[in-house]
């Protein structure tokens, strides 16, 4: 750039960023996306699916004023099962939602044994049970059947892998596309796999 006095002013160019910006999730967490999706399903009368509350026992509450009560001490009454359950097309649906930063696998350490037992019980009684797994680094969300997770869990207990390979999730799971109203339209995948 030249100024009227003839002196040159050097303008610094902004360096090009080598990282790709992902706009699809716009800062939403997986649970928030599923909650928005479930609200849409409920409003459109497609399904009734809710997040299960975590059962806690409140021990101590601070009451500076009634409208500002704060729980200061609590503990879990019992181990929770899965994150979500409900009914769709006359079938019980029960699933867990998990996010991972891992690029190559989903660690089984993210799952508890009581959750596997619960999923097994749902499957044995004819219900639909699965995991929704988001790979943050790939910006991908998959529906992965409960039977597959149970298989890897049992293999782990017999000196097998301690994780589910990303390639297995790609092969045996179904990629859930990000949409506007039903952000994580997992019921479309449920239709594909179970109906």
pLDDT tens track for 116-174: 999 999 999 999 999 999 999 999 999 999 999 999 999 998 888 999 999 999 999 99
Q: What is the pTM of this model?
A: 0.76
Residue 129 in any domain: the answer is yes
The pLDDT of residue 85 is: 96
Residue 99 in any domain: the answer is yes
CA distances from 104 to 67, 139, 145, 164, 169 (A): 47, 13, 19, 9, 10
Which domain CATH number covers 119? 3.40.1350.10
Residue 25 in any domain: the answer is no
Residue 141 in any domain: the answer is yes
Which of 53-57, 113-117, 187-191 shows the lowest mean pLDDT across its residues? 53-57
Q: Per the annotation, does 81 bind a ligand?
A: yes
Q: Per the annotation, does 96 bind a ligand?
A: yes
Look at the chain and report how many structural domains it folds into: 1
Residue 111 in any domain: the answer is yes
Residue 188 domain boundaries: 80-194
d(CA 142, CA 173): 6
């Amino acid at each position: 750039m030249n100024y009227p006095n003839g002196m040159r002013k050097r303008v610094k160019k902004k360096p090009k960023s080598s990282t790709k910006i992902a706009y699809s999730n716009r800062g939403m967490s997986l649970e928030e996306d599923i909650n928005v999706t479930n609200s849409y399903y409920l409003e459109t009368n497609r399904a009734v699916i809710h997040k299960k509350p975590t059962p806690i026992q409140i021990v101590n509450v601070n009451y500076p004023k009634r409208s500002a009560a704060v729980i200061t001490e609590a503990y879990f009454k019992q181990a929770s099962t899965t994150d979500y359950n409900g009914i769709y097309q006359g079938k019980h649906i029960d699933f867990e939602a998990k996010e991972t930063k891992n690029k190559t696998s989903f660690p089984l350490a993210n799952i508890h044994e009581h959750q596997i037992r619960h999923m097994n019980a749902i499957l044995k009684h004819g219900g639909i049970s699965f995991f929704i797994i988001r790979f943050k680094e790939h910006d991908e969300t998959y529906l992965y059947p409960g039977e597959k997770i149970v298989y890897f869990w049992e293999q782990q207990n017999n000196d097998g892998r301690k994780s589910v390979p990303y390639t297995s999730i790609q092969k045996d799971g179904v990629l859930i596309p990000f949409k506007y109203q039903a952000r994580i339209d997992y019921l479309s995948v449920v239709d594909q796999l179970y109906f």
